[in-house]
Amino acid sequence: MKPILAFPIVLLFLLTLSACTGGANPINTWIPAQASPTDLTPTKTRPAASTTPIPSATSTTQGSTPTPEATASPTQPDCLAKGGKIVKGELDTDLLLKPLEYRLYLPPCYFEERDRRYPVLYLIHGQSYNDDQWDRLGADETADDLIAEGEIAPFLIAMPRDRTWEQPTEDMFGEAVVEVLIPFIDQNYRTLPGRTYRAVGGLSRGAGWAVHLGLSHWELFGAIGCHSLPVFHSDTSRIRKWLDAIPPEALPRIYLDIGDRDRPNILRSALWFEDILTQKKIPHEWYLFSGYHEEAYWKAHLEQYLRWYAQNW
């Protein structure tokens, strides 16, 4: 199936389905690693990650005395209640005209648990914004809450600033992240430096960077998150080659989501990339939610994003 010819039919189907469901449930396509052609036909729906957990099946016999809990719930350390901390910095590099600025979220208890090492999530902002965007959307507060509740393991979040809006062939921001920021974070903070414990994600233009970095430097990242993805024009001729170069056993986890009322050219770009993954039978998660290309959309799904990044940590 050729993506250009198939797109109008695919888009019409997805938008019609979204309208019928009212956008309440995401469309989630999970392509098994060893998928057969019949596996690729249906789409499956599943609740968002924030769905209330099913209660325990434990029960007591009528008339019997309930068995007391063996141990009391442990008291949370004070540092969990205090939350994490964001530090700011900048790194000089010949790759950029100005220093590479960044924000770094350090999770609760980072300074108290000095023998512990952490995964790192690299989150990249959208065009016309800067490194404070994910911070303003509440990435740190959401992570604090999930970590304090024991829902996810603690991890660092690095948020670098991209100052220009050129293609990766002209903007060396991506190379600065790989050659300068990642080594600096690993050398100066207690990280788990393997790709299994490093993810890259972004929204809008930042999602384009996530695809660019996650595929061209697949040996560095074990997961790629693409939120409202416009693929870089200069990457369109290289994505298939990058995917083919990744050993099957090393394919990263991939997550894509976008609002059904996003800008047509961005929606078309995200569908194009998803279609390539489907054609190549590469495992990925694909969500078409109700929403626009705006901060309210990304903020509404922020908890699901963080749960997905941290699910194997």
Cα 124 from Cα 68, distance rounded (Å): 48
pLDDT in tens, 197-220: 999 999 999 999 999 999 999 999
3-state secondary structure of 146: helix
- C-beta of residue 86 within 8 angstroms of C-beta of residue 124: no
Please choose, from the candidates 223, 235, 167, the residue with its C-alpha nearest in 3D space to the C-alpha of residue 198: 223
CA dihedral (115, 124, 239, 310) positive or negative: positive
Helix axes 3-21, 264-279, angle to 10 degrees: 110
On the question of pLDDT at 46 being above 70, the answer is no
Could you tell me where the DSSP H helices lie in 22-153?
78-82, 133-137, 139-148
Note the pLDDT of residue 75: 65
**Mind giving me the DSSP string for 210-222?**
HHHHHHHTTTT-S
Q: What is the mean pLDDT of the chain?
A: 82
Note the pLDDT of residue 26: 40
Note the pLDDT of residue 77: 80
pLDDT in tens, 126-158: 999 999 999 999 999 999 999 999 999 999 999
DSSP state, residue 161: P
Could you tell me where the DSSP H helices lie in 83-157?
133-137, 139-148
Q: How confident is the model at residue 101 (pLDDT cuts 50, 70, 90)?
A: very high
Q: In this structure, what token pair is assigned to residue 52?
A: 């209330």
In order of their start, the domains of the chain are 78-252+293-310 (3.40.50.1820)
Residue 222, amino acid: G
| Percentage, residues of the chain above pLDDT 70 | 76
> Is the pLDDT higher at 177 or at 69?
177
Q: Taking the CA of residue 56 as centre, how many other CA atoms within 13 Å lie in the half-sphere pointing to its CB?
A: 3
- Reported pTM: 0.79
For 70, residues 6+ apart whose C-beta sits below 8 A from its C-beta are none
On the question of pLDDT at 41 being above 50, the answer is no
Range with the poorest average pLDDT among 47-61, 92-106, 144-158, 217-231: 47-61
Note the pLDDT of residue 74: 57
- C-beta of residue 20 within 8 angstroms of C-beta of residue 5: no
